[in-house]
Amino acid sequence: LKTKYDLLLKKNQRRTGSFFYTVPSSKVYPFQWLWDSCFHSIIYTHFNLDNAKSEIISLLNGQWKNGMLPHILFWEQKRLPNSIHNIGFRTKETSSITQPPLIAYSVEQIYKKSNDSAFVKKIFNKIHKYYVWLHLNRAVKYIPVIIHPWESGLDDFPLWDFVYGLKNPSKEQLIKNKKQLLNEYLNYLNISQKSNNTKTNAKPSKQYLKKSKFAVKSLLFNSIYLRSLYSMLFLAKQLKLRQYSYYSNLIPKVEKQFKLQFFNKKKNIFISLNKKRQFTDMLSFEIFMPLFAGIATQNQADYAVSFLVDKTKFWLKNPVPVLPLCSPYFHPEKYWRGTTWININWFIIKGLQNYGYDAIAKKIKQKSISLVKKTGFYEYFSPLEYKGFGPNDFTWSGLIFDM
By CB under 6 A, name the binding residues for ligand GLC: 24, 29, 33, 35-36, 153, 155
CB burial readout 11-23, b (16+ within 10 A) else e: ebbbeeeebbbbb
30 vs 383 by CB, closer to ligand GLC: 30
Cβ contacts of 23 within 8 Å, gap of 6 or more: 12, 14, 29, 30, 31, 32, 395
User: How many other CB atoms are there within 10 angstroms of residue 227's CB atom?
Assistant: 24
As measured in angstroms, the least distance from the Cβ of 321 to ligand GLC is 15
Nearer to ligand GLC by C-beta: 24 or 332?
A: 24
Q: Specify the residue, 171 or 253, whose C-beta has the smaller distance to ligand GLC.
A: 171
SS3 77: coil
State residue 143 phi and psi, 5-degree precision. Answer: -115, 110
Judged by CB, which is closer to ligand GLC: 29, or 330? Answer: 29
Minimum CB separation from ligand GLC for residue 36, in Å? Answer: 5
**Nearest distance in Å: CB 361, ligand GLC:** 23
Q: Which CB sits closer to ligand GLC, 149 or 357?
A: 149
CA distance 224 to 216: 15
Strand, coil or helix: what is 335?
coil
Count of residues in the chain: 403
Count of CA atoms in the C-beta half-sphere (13 A) of 123: 25
Q: Give the residue nearest to ligand GLC (CB).
A: 24
Rounded to a whole number of angstroms, the minimum distance from the CB of residue 247 to ligand GLC is 26
Query: Residue 333 burial (CB < 10 Å; 0-12/13-18/19+)?
Result: middle
CB of 29 vs ligand GLC, minimal distance in Å: 5
Nearer to ligand GLC, 33 or 75 (CB): 33
Which CB sits closer to ligand GLC, 35 or 347? 35
d(CA 165, CA 148): 14
Strands annotated E in 23-105? 32-33, 72-73
CB of 24 to ligand GLC, least distance (A): 3
Q: How far is the CB of 33 from ligand GLC (least distance, A)?
A: 4
Whose Cβ is closer to ligand GLC: residue 29's or residue 347's? 29
* Choice between 296 and 320, CB closer to ligand GLC: 320
For Cα atoms 32, 38, 44, give the angle at the middle one, nearest 5 degrees.
100
For the chain, report the end-to-end CA distance as a whole number of angstroms: 14
Q: How far is the CB of 299 from ligand GLC (least distance, A)?
A: 31
Alpha-carbon radius of gyration of the chain: 20
Cβ neighbours of residue 136 closer than 8 Å, sequence gap 6 or more: 204, 206
User: Phi and psi (nearest 5°) for 394?
Assistant: -85, 115
